[in-house]
Structure 1
Amino acid sequence: MTLPTTLIAPLSAMSGAQIRIPSMLTTKKPNCEQIIDLLPEPFVIIDRDYKILAANRAYRNHYGVENDDLLGRHCYEVSHHANAPCSERGELCPLEEVFNTGKPCQAIHRHHDKDNNEKYVRFQTIPIVDDDGEVMYIGKYVQALSQAGKNAGLLVGRSPAFLQMSNLLQRVAPTQSAVLLLGENGVGKGKVAAYIHFHSKRRNKPFVIMDGGMLDENLIESELFGAEKGAVTGTNNCKIGLFEAANGGTLFIDEICELPLSLQTKLLRALESGTIRRIGGNEYINIDVRIIAATNRDVQRMVAEGQFRQDLYYRLSAFPIHIPPLRNRREDIIALTEHFLTHQPEDGRHIPLSSEVIDKLLEHDFPGNIRELRNTIERAVILACDDSLAPTHIVLEEGNIFSNRQEKARQAIEHLIQRRGRLTEQMVLDALTQCDGHRARAAQLLHVSERTLYRHIKRLKID
């Protein structure tokens, strides 16, 4: 096989790397295997039938397979220990993507390494074309993700609902498109936003978070756009806003629907023009920021009722992604539980899960979603001390957390929110009263996050 020129470029792009050419290559034209062996990362060439045609030494070492046992095998047999392509198991198949589009593709998968451990890898797949530009093969670089990379850029799950969402994330992450994340409280919208940033071309630039649930309109404006010295009470110096802080990177605006209409107008102007102006300033500042927004509200209904600007909605929803609630991805509950157990801050000890504990977790609907599961596991570890987890350590909310009285209050408060758009002092007080001061339940009643409710409470100075 003759190595296409499309594979030579990565060699010259390895900054700081030294390439030692074997003496045999100085006397005759190198073949494909000799060239790809110079690549430090695992690399493989695959045909449209998923069969491996060539692999470098790093690839063989990574998967623990000798060359004679590797060539001619299906790629999914080696990497996934599966008998069918990724697409038939709900994952994005990079080979099919490249052959269908003729363009490079990158994705995150869980592969089996040489020790048969499942580990996350990021790979980039490139087309290998003939003289007429037709894709004949694909070349795939494989990069094992470090532990730090896991925490920053990986999501846990294997359920169909999760894989469907993951496929969308992998498609949109490398682009510059705005993303609108939709989902209930506790589903992990912040984690998904971080995942998109980590797997984008901006991963080495700032990832800045802004919570749209902050109450004071002037405070939100100065937080986003900054303020000149003395323009806002308490600013004795020039204040840099979050747009400037995120320049070159990603700005994640959580609870976007909590922004007042006046600020929505300014936000739209900034997105359309690529410029901002600090409060009290005269000069426009150029910005290069990717926007990821999130909400647990029905944005389309808010647009129809005039509570959210239609043009801003269209600008932000270039690529909407619905994050499924945990009750719709029960297959992931155990994997998430094991993840939380592994990452307990106290120690790194392995805590096994008994079948009784697993059954109890799977029977629960988790209305608080992943946040509720994480808190449940953290509480269970504390209760268990140094013992194994038992069903008695799993403390769950039984049944509907709302009584009939609270359900009527919820409907009344929801009606007021739909009419007025933003929370009022009376809404907060009514919700806290109906929930007997339970803040988590009051937040769910009000369709806001606990952070937003806490800021309302702090502003109202409620004990």
Structure 2
Amino acid sequence: MNAQTVLIIDDEPDIRELLEITLLRMGLETASASNAGEAYAALQARPYDLCLTDMRLPDGNGLDIITHAQQHHPHMPIAMITAYGCIETATQALKAGAFDFITKPMDLKRLRELVQSALQQSARQASAVNHDNPLLGDSVPMQQLRQQIDKLARSLAPVHISGESGTGKEVVAREIHQHGNRANLPFVPVNCGAIPAELMESEFFGHKKGSFTGAHDNKPGLFQAAHGGSLFLDEVADLPLHMQVKLLRALQEKAVRPLGSQQELPVDVRILSATHKDLAAEVAAGRFRQDLYYRLNVIEVRVPSLRERGDDVLLLARVFLQRLCAGNRPVRLSPEALDTLRQHDFPGNVRELENMLERAYTLCDHDLIRPHDLQLQGGRPLHDPVAHSGPAISEVPGLPVHSRTDRLEQAERTLLQLTLEQTGHDHKAAATQLGLSLRSLRYRLRTLGID
């Protein structure tokens, strides 16, 4: 697990050195700044578990830094270093949001107690963010998204969630459901692009026994399964037009008719939908019904891409790596690897980051993930399936190409399927042929939905 890191802000070299030695002996990592300008740059460059700042700086003061930290790093405790007897200054710092204060000359025992207490608070907040709220991130777009979710959870209006592939649209849908008054009732997700067209009506509305060949029993549909709760229509833009008509009727009538039945069944569901496509553009192109668009898009929520979220990528990377290390060998990210992650544009967003760290953790042969373990080269993984022999991306049959990320996933899926066929579906042999570990291969098969 990565050591906790403290940012020290003080213009006196002796004070900085004293603090650094004390904190290093406590097993902590440190970074330092000698003025406000350096402090703001350091805070922008990476997240910290704690900040210690002097009140008086050559180009500013500690109160301004506390205010900045409250706005941009609300989960980071910050303590003020003040001159002895400056109670008014200490009170101002506490009102501005400081965790605590310590006076010069510093009592080292008091300093260690303050640091331990602050880091315990930081760990509790991180635990609450990382586990109680799956929407991780301190960036402004993520704070705004969580505020939107809180408001939407109190409503029953249909919500359409837009955003690029891999941003976590289903996570947002689940959060809207979990924070609302239907939280104890079903949340039923369905990938509209994964259901064969000939089975869609049966899947959505159910069927009666004997209504078609193979219908050996009565089967409730997705609407009935979600009755009282929420139905999440993922990749709703992939619905064929004939199904859009039937879905619109079900939404308007609040009832469904199972195949083979003469009676409609009333259903009470809240509709949440999502797509990575521009739904308005799909309407303009005639691929999506305008009346259904207005029915679904009563309120729209946009999930930000990872490249819009600043240093959230570092927080996410640490959380994902902690999960991978839980109960297994400890591995941490080197500062150079963190810089590499910060500079990558992540066209595949959070999903790409998670997959990248899973691969790096699985394949690295030491306890430190370095830049080359992330397998990036010019923004593309070194083991990118495009580099292997096989069909060109544009030649992958039967799969629509919507984005660079989709093309990479399609090419990887094709490569894996071809390799499995060549090895007689022997996973161990396929992993060896692809240069992957068996665990990594199975993870990719699960992620891509390959049986």
TM-score by length of 1: 0.58
Counterpart position of 1:17: none
Alignment partners' CA distance in 1, 2:272 and 2:118? 34
CA change 1:182–1:284 in 2 (3 A) is: same
1:434 maps onto 2:434 in alignment: no
State the secondary structure of the residue aligned to 2:144: helix
1:330 maps onto 2:310 in alignment: yes
- 1:273 Cα deviation (Å)? 1.6
1:271 maps onto 2:276 in alignment: no
Q: Provide the identity percentage.
A: 35
CA change 1:166–1:391 in 2 (3 A) is: same
Letter in 1 for 2:392: T
State the secondary structure of the residue aligned to 2:333: coil
Alignment partners' CA distance in 2, 1:337 and 1:146? 14
In structure 2, list runs of 5 or more residues that go unmatched. 1-64, 75-98, 100-116, 423-451
CA change 1:441–1:187 in 2 (3 A) is: farther
Alignment partners' CA distance in 2, 1:317 and 1:120? 35
1:300 maps onto 2:286 in alignment: no
Partner of residue 147 from structure 2, selected from 156, 167, 170: 167
- 1:208 Cα deviation (Å)? 0.9
Alignment partners' CA distance in 1, 2:333 and 2:398? 31
- 1:440 Cα deviation (Å)? 11
- Mapped contact 2:192–2:234 kept (Cα < 8 A): yes
Counterpart position of 2:60: none
- Mapped contact 1:296–1:447 kept (Cα < 8 A): no
- Mapped contact 2:256–2:267 kept (Cα < 8 A): yes
Q: Matches of residues 233-312 of structure 1 in structure 2 within 5 Å?
A: 233-312=213-292
Alignment partners' CA distance in 1, 2:119 and 2:367? 33
Alignment partners' CA distance in 1, 2:195 and 2:163? 22
- 1:385 Cα deviation (Å)? 4.4
Counterpart position of 2:354: 374
- 1:348 Cα deviation (Å)? 5.8
Q: What is the CA RMSD across the aligned residues, in angstroms?
A: 4.0
State the secondary structure of the residue aligned to 1:116: helix
Q: Matches of residues 54-453 of structure 1 in structure 2 within 5 Å?
A: 83=67, 115-119=120-124, 150=132, 153-214=133-194, 216-344=196-324, 347=327, 351-385=331-365, 387-396=367-376, 398-399=378-379, 433-434=392-393, 444=403
Counterpart position of 2:48: none
Alignment partners' CA distance in 2, 1:173 and 1:394? 38
- Mapped contact 2:158–2:299 kept (Cα < 8 A): yes
- Mapped contact 2:72–2:139 kept (Cα < 8 A): no
- 1:347 Cα deviation (Å)? 2.5
Letter in 1 for 2:183: R
- 1:173 Cα deviation (Å)? 1.7
State the secondary structure of the residue aligned to 1:293: strand
Aligned residues: 307
Letter in 1 for 2:350: I
CA change 1:447–1:116 in 2 (3 A) is: closer
- 1:146 Cα deviation (Å)? 10
CA change 1:145–1:373 in 2 (3 A) is: closer
- 1:232 Cα deviation (Å)? 3.1
Letter in 2 for 1:253: L
Alignment partners' CA distance in 1, 2:349 and 2:178? 23
Letter in 2 for 1:116: Q
Alignment partners' CA distance in 2, 1:400 and 1:146? 30
- 1:115 Cα deviation (Å)? 3.5
State the secondary structure of the residue aligned to 2:223: helix
Alignment partners' CA distance in 2, 1:90 and 1:310? 42
State the secondary structure of the residue aligned to 2:368: coil
Alignment partners' CA distance in 2, 1:276 and 1:225? 6
| CA shift digits 1:379-434 (9 cap, x unpaired) | 11112345122222111252479xxxx9xxxxxxxxxxxxxxxxxxxxxxxx9533
Higher helix share: 2
Letter in 2 for 1:434: I
- Mapped contact 2:186–2:225 kept (Cα < 8 A): yes
